[in-house]
Structure 1
Amino acid sequence: MKNFTIYAALLLSLILSKATAQETFEGKARAIADKIENITKEEKAALKIELETVNKELEAGTITKEQADAKKMLLAETRSSNIETRIGQAQEELKDLVKQKVDGKIKDWKSEYFSFSIKKDSLRRHRGELRTTSQFVFAAGVNNVVTDGSVANSDFRYWGSHFYEWGITANTRLLKNDNFLHLKYGLSLMYNNLRATDNRYFVVNGDQTDLVNSPVHLEDSRFRNVFLSVPVHLEFDFTKAKDKDGKKIFRTHESVRFGIGGYAGVRVKSKQILKYEDGGRDVTQKTKGNFNVNDFIYGVSAYIGYKETSLYLKYDLNPMFKDNAIKQNNISLGVRFDLN
């Protein structure tokens, strides 16, 4: 009966706060993440239908195999462009959301989630008894490369180059009766963007990838690498345990925290985006390929902060390009949010 009361109160609290939750940072971030996932599903489903139509035309003999292949290639490129454009819009929404969060314009979900006064203590006690909790993680900030041990005199803009990361983590308390030590692990999608200085862009030259001067004036020159990674951190949480009815209740993310660890992952894609003017027309050129970028990524990372917000640093131990004569390792510094 006790557990039923707790769960009933939890359900009622969720129902009553549903509208409010949609206005919180976590609710909006999850909505954007769902939107990104749905965009990919919708475009892939539409592409599948279009390809089936082309196959039927080929079977009926109304088009040749060469024409069918050309149509399929065009359809795939169109859907890929749609995905990129729509996800780009969602990323802009996420950037604006983070800015609102930093400016204090969005409510804290945790305060709303546990505002149901009738069973507030019971809900907190139930949550505090969990040994493992989960968080939605979002991080953003500046991105660059370390060359010969330094980021000084970089070939890339310091403020124009940036990174994004979002994912899901689990946080497990390692000691049964002590809240200090936790293992934090999960799955993240990392976007590392670099904007070259001095009107330059990347050109693949065999097994080398060179940064060369552009023959036309570039309004934007952006190089993006996307990785799916598994981060693992040892987290030290100074949140004090609380006594309730003679029992210790352990909570997380309510005090100073710092974590140290690393990550490993695989490259999902690489892309170069160039924007320039040609004969009075605005041109956006997007080039996909491996650009000789390492297919695997591994590095070290650390964060320190208070409650859900932390200063976040990560550094790739392997170079960005496989065989370039000069080794350049990606480095990122930004703000991280761990939302229970």
Structure 2
Amino acid sequence: MQKIILYAAVLLCTLVTQMYGQETFDERVKTISENIKKITSEEKEALKQEIEDINKLLENGTISIEKAEAEKRKAAEIRAKNIEEKVALEEAKLQQLVKDVVDGKIKHSEDKAKWGTTIILGSNSNDSIGENHTEISIGSMKVFKGEKDKFKRNSKRTTSQFVFAFGLNNVVADGDIGSLEDSDYRVWGSHFYEWGFTYNTRIFKNNNLLHAKYGLSLMYNNLRPTDNRYFVKQGEQTNLQEFGLDLRESRFRNVHLVLPLHLEFDFTPKSVKENGDVRFRSHKSVRLGIGGYAGFNIKSKQILKFNENDVRIKVKEKGDFNTSDFTYGLSTYIGYRATSLYLKYDLNPMFKNNTIDQNNISLGLRFDFN
């Protein structure tokens, strides 16, 4: 449904901007895009500085290891919340901007009417756009004003991407992949999603194969237990127990703030213009990424829905379920252009002290909007 709405909004923007001009709209879209990137960068740097300050206090013996870990988790949770809230404000501005365009509130000056405009989804296209043309990439939130601007920005050794991923989620018990066949969690009901921003740096100046891909992401891992069960904390153990009433829904979620790092093999060929200029593009062909991630668990929550005496009840439980404070794992993806098949596996157990270790595993689709 959201995809249909996005397509409709883009079509409306295209029709209206052909009538009213595009330059002001371009500038505002670019400003919103830059604001989102600035928010992410500033919060990431602030978190890095806070962690360094906490480490100094730990080295000086001012605070204990336990206190330092608690302060780091608290700082990570605050920065993640800041990112969500501030990005939500920018998204609201973008929605209002689309509405203003549709309502015809955004005008243009006569000296800019000669510029044509193309709006595309996802990554920017391979086509030349000409010097008197503007290309807007909704997916990557980039605006190119003329072919020279597009060529220059696409030839940079380091580019940025917005990443979104979703798919199935489950756990592997005691490292036995065969345990998935008799899982305690619903296969299609348990899922994950992830969003964040990454930087992609070409490692060699004149070779496009190897890239370093790094950034900041929020990961949401959801599990839905089978057989009318839910999680109960019993001392240092967290186990599944049967609920006394019929559950309409039982869902357990962990939210992680992580730093992903991948070595990416990009098989996009170089582009040579008629004048001999060489451009090393990325995300235009087959890509393979191998790496991992590490970060903090910033939230654990359980949601229960059931009926009692003909009353619909929804319970949300937040807090310490004995989940691991830190998360780290391996991940890989392979795909074409912006779309990839994505696999990630937590090396740390979901619960710290359970008799049986349960490691989260996820498989789905990943989109890197370049």
Tell me if TM exceeds 0.5.
yes
Shift of 1:136: 0.6
1:298 paired residue number: 328
SS at match of 2:164: strand
2:339 paired residue number: 309
* CA gap 1:287/1:313 in 2 versus in 1, 3 angstroms: same
From 135, 140, 145, the counterpart of 2:161: 135
* CA gap 1:14/1:287 in 2 versus in 1, 3 angstroms: same
Q: Distance in 2 between matches of 1:116 and 1:108?
A: 20
* CA gap 1:219/1:123 in 2 versus in 1, 3 angstroms: same
Q: Distance in 2 between matches of 1:20 and 1:312?
A: 33
Q: Distance in 1 between matches of 2:296 and 2:132?
A: 48
Query: Where does structure 1 differ by over 2 angstroms across 4 or more consecutive aligned residues?
Result: 13-22, 106-109, 111-121, 244-247
Q: Distance in 2 between matches of 1:159 and 1:20?
A: 40
2:238 paired residue number: 209
Whether the 8 Å CA contact 2:303–2:315 is kept in 1: the answer is yes
Aligned 1:200-279 pairs, distance under 5 A = 200-244=229-273, 245-279=275-309
- Tell me, yes or no, if structure 1 residue 122 matches structure 2 residue 152: no
- Tell me, yes or no, if structure 1 residue 107 matches structure 2 residue 138: no
SS at match of 2:203: strand
- Tell me, yes or no, if structure 1 residue 180 matches structure 2 residue 172: no
Q: Distance in 2 between matches of 1:301 and 1:210?
A: 27
**In the comparison of the two structures, how many residue pairs are matched?**
257
2:26 paired residue number: 18
Q: Map Cα deviations across residues 262-289 of structure 1 (whole Å, 9 max, x no partner).
A: 0000010100000000111110000111
Q: Map Cα deviations across residues 292-328 of structure 1 (whole Å, 9 max, x no partner).
A: 0000000000000110111100000111000100111
SS at match of 2:182: coil
Whether the 8 Å CA contact 1:20–1:112 is kept in 2: the answer is no
Whether the 8 Å CA contact 1:17–1:113 is kept in 2: the answer is no
2:6 paired residue number: none
Whether the 8 Å CA contact 1:21–1:109 is kept in 2: the answer is no
From 349, 359, 364, the counterpart of 1:319: 349
Whether the 8 Å CA contact 2:122–2:338 is kept in 1: the answer is no
1:164 paired residue number: 193
* CA gap 1:112/1:259 in 2 versus in 1, 3 angstroms: closer
SS at match of 1:145: strand
SS at match of 1:163: strand
* CA gap 1:20/1:154 in 2 versus in 1, 3 angstroms: farther
Tell me which moved more, 117-126 or 193-202: 117-126
| Paired AA for residue 121 in structure 1 | E
Q: Distance in 1 between matches of 2:272 and 2:128?
A: 18
Please, what is the CA RMSD of the aligned residues? Answer: 3.1
Q: Distance in 1 between matches of 2:258 and 2:158?
A: 21
Q: TM (normalized to structure 2)?
A: 0.64
1:146 paired residue number: 172
Q: Distance in 1 between matches of 2:182 and 2:125?
A: 45
Unaligned runs of 5+ in 2: 1-20, 44-80, 92-119, 134-145
Q: Distance in 2 between matches of 1:261 and 1:21?
A: 33
From 303, 323, 334, the counterpart of 2:364: 334
Q: Distance in 2 between matches of 1:133 and 1:236?
A: 15
Shift of 1:19: 9.9
SS at match of 1:332: strand
Aligned 1:63-74 pairs, distance under 5 A = none
* CA gap 1:16/1:179 in 2 versus in 1, 3 angstroms: farther
Shift of 1:116: 5.5
Whether the 8 Å CA contact 2:129–2:147 is kept in 1: the answer is no
* CA gap 1:165/1:212 in 2 versus in 1, 3 angstroms: same
Q: Distance in 1 between matches of 2:316 and 2:129?
A: 48
Shift of 1:18: 3.3
Whether the 8 Å CA contact 1:312–1:333 is kept in 2: the answer is yes
Unaligned runs of 5+ in 1: 1-12, 38-82, 94-105
SS at match of 2:199: strand
1:48 paired residue number: none
SS at match of 1:160: coil
Q: Distance in 2 between matches of 1:338 and 1:111?
A: 14
- Tell me, yes or no, if structure 1 residue 282 matches structure 2 residue 312: yes
